[in-house]
Amino acid sequence: MNLMSTGDLIPWANLPEGTRLDLHSHTKCSDGGLSPKELVDRAVNFQIDILAITDHDTVAALDIANEYIVDQKIPLKLVNGIEISTGWEGFEIHIVALNIDEKAPELLQLIKRQQQAREERAIAMGEKLEKCGFDNIYNQAKKISGDGSITRAHFAKVLVREGHVSAMQKAFDKFIGKGQRAFVKANWCSIEEAIAAIHLAGGSAVMAHPVRYGLSTKWLRRLVVHFKENGGDALETVLPQMGNEQRKLMLSFCLEYDLKASMGSDFHYPSKWSDLGRNLTMPDQATPVWQSW
């Protein structure tokens, strides 16, 4: 709907009807398939007005995308974001930060720590995979991750390419997923540390895809309470491929615990099942996370 031209102020509290937002996406700077510029181009082609780039534990794509948008006068508003991996009660919980100052020192310090945790885990995962009979996986994963965040998705890709598994999902199911032979628990920061760094960077802390942690409703509630008690701002309430019951549960948590709502596709690369901005509509009763920006 061409909401804006470059540099316009966004009427966050009162976005025009029909504004299309996607507040969760990845680039090659972590485990996405597109470069930051390609992602921006795709967002425009998909008629997205507002896009958040939220790579795993890195903000490297933001400058590249922002510069491209300004230079080429691209009609897309970029929301600066990051997806931070945290540890809670033995689970890996992802916290998306939105509307951050990506240069805030406390955030940069946390990112450095997370990158170190990623590197240490990657090395240990490589050693475990050696013991499974797969040589040189770490070096290859490192190579395809380049100078971006090294993720398990890179390992899965190499395991497929080398013919050790038939599909990326199988790599998780058989080797690198939780509880499998080559799984390594990473030394992630805590939820409270992530939220504190996000707030110091002026951003909103959003619990990413709460329905994807395989938690029972009782545990999910516990997680939401913990998140709220530590200053969390919003739940990702709207994702593609989410059932009606799940949508209702997320909305009820938002209302019960006075949390705002966010929505995003968690786009990694084009696929049959999901794409940028698809199936994302904010429920009327929810308070959108961008309301206070």
Residues that bind ligand AMP (CB under 6 A): 31, 56, 85, 151-153, 169, 172, 177, 268
Stretch that binds Mn ion, among 109-117, 205-213, 234-242, 244-252 (CB under 5 A): 205-213
Bridge partners of 172? none
The Cα 214–Cα 62 span in angstroms is 31
Query: To the nearest whole angstrom, how small is the minimum distance from the Cβ of residue 150 to ligand AMP?
Result: 7
Q: How far is the CB of 180 from ligand AMP (least distance, A)?
A: 10
Q: Rounded to 5 degrees, what angle do the CA atoms 53, 290, 108 make?
A: 45
Smallest separation (angstroms) from ligand AMP to the CB of 248: 25
Q: Specify the amino acid at residue 193.
A: E
208 binds, among ligand AMP, Mn ion, none (CB under 5 to 8 A by kind): Mn ion
Name every residue whose Cβ is closer than 8 Å to that of residue 242 and which is 6 or more positions away in sequence. 211, 250
Q: For Mn ion, which stretch binds (CB under 5 A), given 103-111, 140-148, 157-165, 261-269?
A: 261-269
Cβ neighbours, 10 Å, residue 109: 12
Q: What angle do CA 80, 169, 189 make, to 5 degrees?
A: 45
Which residue sits closest to ligand AMP, CB atoms considered? 151
> How far, in Å, CA of 168 to CA of 173, rounded?
9
Give the one residue of 60, 266, 280, 288 binding Mn ion; rule: CB under 5 A: 266
Q: Which is nearer to Mn ion, 15 or 40 (CB)?
A: 40
Smallest distance, Å, CB 253 to ligand AMP? 22
Widest CA span of the chain, in angstroms? 57
- Which residue's CB is nearer to ligand AMP, number 20 or number 152? 152
Closest CA to 224 of 98, 95, 100, 110: 95
Asked if residue 31 binds Mn ion (CB under 5 A), the reply is yes
Min dist. Cβ of residue 177 to ligand AMP (A): 5
CA 239, 241, 246, 252: dihedral to nearest 10 degrees? Answer: 20
Which is closer to ligand AMP, CB of 92 or CB of 256? 92
90 and 179 in contact (C-beta within 8 Å)? no
Residue 128 binding: pick among ligand AMP, Mn ion, none (C-beta 5-8 Å cut-off by kind)? none
Q: Least distance to ligand AMP from the beta carbon of 11, Å?
A: 33
**Interface with Mn ion by CB under 5 A: which range of 92-100, 156-164, 190-198, 245-253?**
92-100
Residue among 94, 152, 154, 199 that touches Mn ion (CB under 5 A):
94
**Closest listed residue to residue 182, CA positions, set 199, 167, 164:** 164
171 binds Mn ion (CB under 5 A): no
Q: In the complex with Mn ion, which residue's Cβ is closer, 210 or 288?
A: 210
Long-range contacts of 103-110 (CB under 8 A, 24+ apart): 104/197, 104/200, 104/201, 104/202, 106/196, 106/197, 106/200, 106/201, 107/59, 107/82, 107/197, 107/198, 107/200, 107/201, 109/197, 110/84, 110/189, 110/193, 110/194, 110/197
Nearer to Mn ion, 15 or 239 (CB): 239
Q: 53 with 61: CB under 8 angstroms?
A: yes
Quote the least distance from Cβ 151 to Mn ion, whole Å. Answer: 6
Least separation in angstroms between residue 152's CB and ligand AMP is 4
Closest CB to Mn ion among residues 31, 49: 31
Determine, following the binding rule CB under 5 A, whether residue 208 of this chain makes contact with Mn ion.
Answer: yes
